Amino acid sequence: MQATNSTPSVTIDLGDRSYPIHISSGLLSEPGTFAALPAVDSALIVTNVTVGPLYGQSLKITLQRHYKTVHVVTLPDGEAHKNWQTLNLIFDALLGHECDRKTVLFALGGGVVGDMTGYAAASYMRGVPYVQVPTTLLSQVDSSVGGKTGINHPMGKNMIGAFYQPQLVVCDLDTLKTLPARELSAGLAEVIKYGPIADLAFLDWIEANMDSMLARDVESLAYAVKRSCEIKAWVVGQDERESGIRAILNFGHTFGHAIEAGMGYGNWLHGEAVGCGMVMAAELSFALGLVDGDFVKRLRALVQRAGLPTIAPRLDANDNAGHYLDLMRVDKKADRGEIRFVLIDGPSHATLRGAPDAMVRRVIDACSA
């Protein structure tokens, strides 16, 4: 299906840096998908060893109709490789092919590929254009949208990066057909989060359609991607650089990032950590009197139905809660040493606030294996 005026799309409204998100099947093989991009000589596809063999050639053939030269760089796969060493492979390719500042980068893969390609684009020659072509549910509903780019540091997730918006996001739903079941569940965590923070009706829809999404029903997945992108576009359009409302998109992420760092990047998928983190954040919301117990039960049941963990791992045999707290103090939302959590304080409403360490410890202990 060609990306035309009839293609389902969502617009990120950022003035002269606005861009569309195209959502449909068959977009990678349609030249019209990329017709609106600037006419330049060269492009670089950044992919990984898993996605490249599946979709790299199809995208390359399509792009060769627009660009005189299309280069490809293939990265190792996984969160464990979201670091300086892997990022340098992109810079090596750009410099080795003598790419100029008009070269367009195409991020073909999941969130790791998208984040690193965006950061490379923000940095190379102080900024070159790039396009997000997300191939996982998680990256289609969240990480490819909004311009957050970066890499991990051993002490914290996504601690090195930049805000840098793409020219275009292309969500080809056909790529979800080859997604492993575990990755599909991980993506559903980011879908689920939009209900509690912004849209109670969407939360109802997710509950009613969880089975069809797990069965990869195209219509259900298309709606999940579109509605998720609409909510994220609404938030990012108000707060591009996360100085206010955009922080609500991190529901479950403070606990989740601690799990990822504490377990070692790649042991739990990002979505698995976020799913468990949302349950922990809901428990903390309950402990603070912001929500009732029924909400916590509802969210936990939904996360379980998505095939995601709801019991947090033990990160330290001696002082598990203390280790969580140490990791969360490195979180980007922390303010002068105080950990700040995205918590639910009403129907489809989230807030960013702190909580007493003693209370957080009790929640961690209650939620941990």
Active-site amino acid positions: 126, 148, 190, 232, 242, 246, 250, 253, 257, 270
The burial of 20, by beta-carbon neighbours within 10 Å (0-12 exposed, 13-18 middle, 19 or more buried), is given as middle
Coil, helix or strand at residue 361? helix
Cα 270 to Cα 251: distance, rounded to the nearest angstrom: 13
Cα 223 to Cα 96: distance, rounded to the nearest angstrom: 41
Contact of 109 with 45, CB cutoff 8 Å: no
Contact of 152 with 115, CB cutoff 8 Å: no
Residue type, 27: L
**Residue listed under structure tokens 């997730």:** 157
Phi and psi torsions of 151, nearest 5°: -135, 170
Contact of 327 with 262, CB cutoff 8 Å: yes
Cα 314 to Cα 307: distance, rounded to the nearest angstrom: 20
Which alpha helices (H) appear in 97-172, and where do they start and end?
111-123, 137-138
Exposure b/e, 88-99, CB count within 10 A at least 16 = b: ebbeebbeeeeb
